[in-house]
Amino acid sequence: MAGEELLITQSAVSHHIKQLESALGTPLFRRKSKSIELTEAGTMFLATVDEAFTVLSEGTARVRSRSGQTSLRVSLLPSFAANWLVNRLGSFLKSYPAIELELDPTLRIVDVGRGEADIAIRFGDFGGSKQSCVHLANEDLSPVLSPALYGDGSQFQSALDLLNQEILQAKSGLEWQLWSEAAGFPLERAKQTRLTDYNIVLQAALDGQGVAMGRGLLVREHIRAGRLVRPLSASLSSQKAAYWAAFDPLSKKLEAIEAFVAWLKNEMTLSAQRTSGPIF
């Protein structure tokens, strides 16, 4: 709504429109019982206003560029933001003080081509996407559970022993599906709980509610701190469970976008090297 966009009430918008129509000496809108449409004069005036706002927008961008600041809106999964990116942001901002980041944690897949974000960090198999996608890193998948549930570990001799546990899955089920195929684990026979967000899956595992499929980059600190345990040694690295950065190659912010993506790729490569285990 116009009021929300301008940060004023809808009644204030209506008042300003009436003042404008009075100043122009002609109505800009044709009001009906359940709708409103532009008059011929309104259509003509809209083109002028649109052009004026475009000039203002371009002028604002030029002033910002002269000040050396570029703002990037980054769409990303809440789990990736909370468990990996946030505690590394200081390093990026110190290296690139002229780039401001606006993080938008969301499960929704945004369209960078339509300007919904400057960069979208995604998880899964996006290599065939029509948008420009840069591969950042493959995840290192391995089951994880709480120390209390693990006990002395004697009950976890093979993947089949996981059938005795509650399997905690994110909504897509991608990680367990890929790992089960590689490990020969009959996932369809296991008791499963599906949760909307991977953050909730992790919390359930931390609380001893079952076994989650750990994404190495996101569970590394939990494992190192002893909050989670890997009951089995083998893990799976697959491009089908990878992180990608999608962006518009024609963006006016391309230089800043490429700098952030390159930094991400380097940091994630280093992290992946520290988290990987034996591969199937």
User: pLDDT tens digits for 19-74?
Assistant: 777 767 788 778 765 556 788 877 876 777 666 656 555 555 555 554 568 999 99
What rounded mean pLDDT belongs to the chain? 85
Residues 6+ apart with CB under 8 A from 172: 124
Q: What share of the chain is helix, strand, coil (3-state, %, to 5)?
A: 45, 25, 30
Rounded CA gap, 78 and 203, in Å?
13
Beta bridge pairs of residue 193 = 168
Our measurement of the distance from residue 44's CA atom to the centroid of its chain's CA atoms, rounded to an integer in Å, reads 40
pLDDT of res. 229: 97
For the chain, give the number of residues. 280
Q: Which residue has the higher pLDDT, 171 or 256?
A: 256
Does 101 have pLDDT greater than 90? yes
Average pLDDT (250-270) is 95
Rounded CA gap, 13 and 11, in Å?
5
HSE (CB half, 13 Å, CA atoms) of 128?
Answer: 2
User: Is the distance from CB of 257 to CB of 171 less than 8 angstroms?
Assistant: no
User: Is the distance from CB of 174 to CB of 241 less than 8 angstroms?
Assistant: yes
Domains, in order of start, for the chain: 2-66 (1.10.10.10), 70-138+241-275 (3.40.190.10), 139-239 (3.40.190.10)
Beta bridge pairs of residue 138 = 242
